[in-house]
Amino acid sequence: MVFPSENKAAFRRRKEEKMKKWIRMAALPAAGAALLGMLLTGCSGTDAGAEQESALQNSTETESTAESGTGTETEDFGPQAYLNGINVADYVTLGNYKGVEVSVDAAVVTDEYMDSYIDYVLQSNMIKTEITDRPVQEGDIVNIDYEGKIDGVAFDGGTAQGYDLTIGSGSFIDGFEDGLIGAEKGETRDIQVTFPEDYHGTEVAGKDAVFTVTVNSISVETLPELTDEFVQGLDVGASTVEEYRQYVYDLLMEQEQENRDANAEVAVLEAVMADSTLQDPPEDMTDRYYSRLIDNMTYYASMYGYDLETFLTLQGSSEDAVRESAVEAGKEILTMQAIAEAEGLEVTDEELDAEIEENAQSMGYDDAEEYRAALDVEGYREYMMSEKVLDFLMENAVVTEVQPESEQSAEPAETAQTEETAQTEETQTAEAEETQTAETQGAETEGTQAAEIESAQD
């Protein structure tokens, strides 16, 4: 279960988060939202803040603060790569797109969900106590220095200082952690291990090694109690447990409401497309989307030490599936452009310039020109158009909220289904428009030293 971060410094404006929504509608099977956020704009990275509560976000949601290195130049994919080179009428015959009726699950925060979040926060703030009166045992956290050698020669990645290892975690290869059980603080001992034949480090796979390990300290962790004092230490504006529970409810409800809104947009656009006659987009446009996806996924794969093929396999996908996703993304943007043309929803140069100027600093750039240079500007214009169209569709849609039957909300809520028109939808999102959205920085990798001896998970 993934929870939003409570680091106020890491919040981003909600309108920036909305930039990611429409491309998620393609239901791309090959990558998560973090890989897709900059597909339209051609920008590879976004800002991310340090978390107040560590490990509150799954590391797959990490977005780098730096450019990925895939380049900022706009590639020439051909004359029909962008909407400005396409006669949309050749690819889209619109059906009904006003008054579309869809049903979505209502935003609900259950007591169970709240308790799970609070338990996770407690586990993220374990109390660490140093042990001085006994040797290492299962479950202890040991701080160690180690050096690994094969045939008496140290190998790359086999040495580290001040590494925290939980005994019994299975983080290191078989025999390493067990070899530390019974060691005293300050003790140095040699541990003999054998790397698996299929170990990811081919230079050491199948070989015997000896690690010389010094135990610097022994510690245990205990779960803190949820008290007023603990709550005050979180620095989230709550002074009592009761206030904190309300804070958690509000935090989770905001997330659930955003999910509900995004699901409504997906459902409405899907209904519009289902009632339209669509042709596959031009090959140039498909190539453009495919290239963006592959570039982004290659970068993120490298962040986690994978090549693209392995990364796609772990995602249960393939390059062919990415290609299919690029085709679907093209159909979506063509459909939205057709609506834009029918309704006169134009993005002017002045609007584009103002948007880039407004977002440059919050996206981590010194000025608007630097941000513009990192963007696929025409793609950014298409994104802005898609936002206008989505707003128009939602203003003219009828959204029925379906209350879950089996879940008990943490706060009283109406159980009847409600139908919403444009005015209702706008009212619900008006206040949230300026609400910042949590973006967290995923857990940093432990470094090449640890990587050489940790158990391969794949």
Q: Which residues contact 115 (CB under 8 A, 6 or more apart)?
A: none
Give the pLDDT confidence score for residue 40 in this predicted structure: 52
**Same structural domain, 352 and 390:** yes
**Same structural domain, 398 and 424:** yes
Q: Which letter does DSSP use for residue 104 in this model?
A: E
Give the pLDDT confidence score for residue 410 in this predicted structure: 62
How large is the C-alpha radius of gyration of the chain? 26
**Same structural domain, 94 and 207:** no
Tokens 């299962």 sit on residue? 138
Within 10 angstroms of residue 279's Cβ, the number of other Cβ atoms is 11
Give the pLDDT confidence score for residue 409 in this predicted structure: 56
Residue 452 forms part of a structural domain: no
Residue 262 forms part of a structural domain: yes
Question: Of 157, 192, 222, which residue is a domain's last?
Answer: 222
Give the pLDDT confidence score for residue 285 in this predicted structure: 95
Rounded Cα distance between 348 and 332, Å, is 21
Q: Which residues contact 61 (CB under 8 A, 6 or more apart)?
A: 2, 32, 33, 34, 439, 440, 442
Rounded Cα distance between 126 and 222, Å, is 6
**Same structural domain, 269 and 357:** yes
Within 10 angstroms of residue 215's Cβ, the number of other Cβ atoms is 22
**Same structural domain, 258 and 199:** no
Question: Of 222, 257, 279, which residue is a domain's last?
Answer: 222
**Same structural domain, 241 and 383:** yes
Give the pLDDT confidence score for residue 436 in this predicted structure: 36
Residue 450 forms part of a structural domain: no
Q: Around 107, how many Cα atoms within 13 Å sit in the side-chain half-sphere?
A: 18
Rounded Cα distance between 386 and 52, Å, is 34
Q: Which residues pair with 110 in a beta bridge?
A: 409
Residue 245 forms part of a structural domain: yes
Domain range for 335: 8-118+232-438
Residue 42 forms part of a structural domain: yes
**Same structural domain, 166 and 310:** no
**Same structural domain, 108 and 144:** no
* pLDDT string in tens for the chain (458-residue length): 444 444 333 333 333 343 333 223 322 333 333 333 345 555 544 333 322 232 222 222 333 333 333 344 557 788 889 999 999 999 999 999 999 999 999 999 999 999 999 999 999 999 999 999 999 999 999 999 999 999 999 999 899 999 999 999 999 999 999 999 999 999 999 999 999 998 888 899 999 999 999 999 999 999 999 999 999 999 999 999 999 999 999 999 999 999 999 999 999 999 999 999 999 999 999 999 999 999 989 998 898 888 899 889 988 999 999 999 999 999 999 999 999 999 999 999 999 999 999 999 888 899 999 999 988 899 999 999 999 999 999 999 999 999 987 655 565 434 333 344 334 344 343 333 433 333 333 333 333 333 333 433 33
Residue 141's CATH number: 3.10.50.40
Residue 248 forms part of a structural domain: yes
Give the pLDDT confidence score for residue 48 in this predicted structure: 31
Tokens 């002074």 sit on residue? 239
Give the pLDDT confidence score for residue 191 in this predicted structure: 97
**Furthest-apart CA pair in the chain: how many Å?**
79
Give the pLDDT confidence score for residue 264 in this predicted structure: 96
**Same structural domain, 236 and 347:** yes
Tokens 């941000």 sit on residue? 371
Within 10 angstroms of residue 368's Cβ, the number of other Cβ atoms is 17
Q: Which residues contact 95 (CB under 8 A, 6 or more apart)?
A: 272, 275, 276, 277
pTM: 0.65
For 222, the enclosing helix (H) or strand (E) is strand 208-222
Candidates 49, 23, 50, 53; CA nearest to 37 is 23
**Same structural domain, 30 and 158:** no
Question: Of 222, 243, 260, which residue is a domain's last?
Answer: 222
Q: What share of the chain is helix, strand, coil (3-state, %, to 5)?
A: 40, 15, 40
**Same structural domain, 84 and 131:** no
Give the pLDDT confidence score for residue 68 in this predicted structure: 34
**Same structural domain, 107 and 192:** no
Rounded Cα distance between 281 and 326, Å, is 9
Structural domains counted in the chain = 2
Residue 449 forms part of a structural domain: no
